[in-house]
């Protein structure tokens, strides 16, 4: 049975997600965030990290149709490959330090039905105890393709499937 290492992310008190082991590259506690006006409600800040300007996307806020937290206690910085094969960086607010897990194929399960936005941002899902944990599609998440003005909870299941 194939296994792969992953980081289990605590997005808020209820929402969990995971990324591949090599996708998370840094954690920043009490980060200094800079607000950018006229931006999507779930992605309103950037941070400076190693001479890079890194967007901070509050995935829990997007999934719930809320505004991004202004002062998250912790953010994870993630690396992903863009369609042009360059490496880019993005940050996700976290409630707690990520936990390392080994995930095997037999843990695969269906995505959580709620919030329905998971269908847009997850590649697949595995079961951790009795909880499904979506695996994030980071290139898509930071691509700018997330709907800005559509409340993800208002979408039908069919509408949530990426075109």
Partner 1 sequence: MARISERMSAENPLWVALDFDDHRLLLSQHEIRSLESVLDVRRQDAVPPIAGTITVAGETWPVYCLSGEELVVTADIPSHHRVCLLLDDGRHRLAIVCGQIEMLALSPRRYPLPACLAKPAALIEALVVHGETVACLTTTARLAAFCQRDTAWGEENG
Applying CB under 8 A, the residues found at the interface with partner 1 are: 32, 34-40, 43-44, 46, 48, 51, 53-55, 57, 90, 141-144, 146, 148
- CA separation for the pair 112, 131 (Å, rounded): 9
Residue 71 or 148 with smaller CB distance to partner 1 = 148
Q: Which two tokens stand for residue 125?
A: 């899902």
Judged by CB, which is closer to partner 1: 90, or 112?
90
From the CB of residue 87, how many other CB atoms can be counted at a distance below 10 Å?
A: 9
Q: Smallest gap, in angstroms, from Cβ of residue 147 to partner 1?
A: 12
CB of 158 to partner 1, least distance (A): 24
Q: How far is the CB of 149 from partner 1 (least distance, A)?
A: 9
CB atoms within 10 A of CB 82: 11
**Are the CB atoms for 98 and 115 separated by under 8 Å?**
no
Q: Is 129 helix (H, G, I), strand (E, B) or coil?
A: coil
Q: Using the minimum distance from each CB to partner 1, give the nearer residue, 118 or 142.
A: 142
């Amino acid at each position: 049975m194939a296994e792969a290492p992953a980081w289990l992310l605590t997005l808020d008190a209820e929402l969990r997600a995971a990324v591949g082991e090599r996708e998370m590259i840094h954690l920043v506690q009490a980060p200094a965030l800079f607000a950018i006006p006229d931006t999507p409600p779930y992605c309103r800040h950037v941070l400076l990290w190693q001479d890079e300007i890194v967007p901070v996307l509050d995935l829990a806020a997007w999934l719930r149709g809320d505004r991004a937290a202004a002062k998250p206690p912790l953010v994870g910085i993630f690396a992903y490959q863009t369609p042009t094969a360059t490496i880019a960086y993005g940050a996700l607010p976290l409630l707690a330090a990520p936990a390392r897990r080994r995930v095997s194929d037999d843990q695969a399960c269906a995505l959580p039905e709620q919030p329905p936005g998971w269908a847009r941002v997850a590649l697949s899902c595995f079961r951790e105890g009795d909880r499904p944990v979506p695996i994030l599609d980071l290139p898509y998440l930071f691509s700018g393709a997330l709907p800005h003005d559509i409340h993800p909870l208002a979408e039908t299941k069919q509408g949530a499937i990426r075109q």
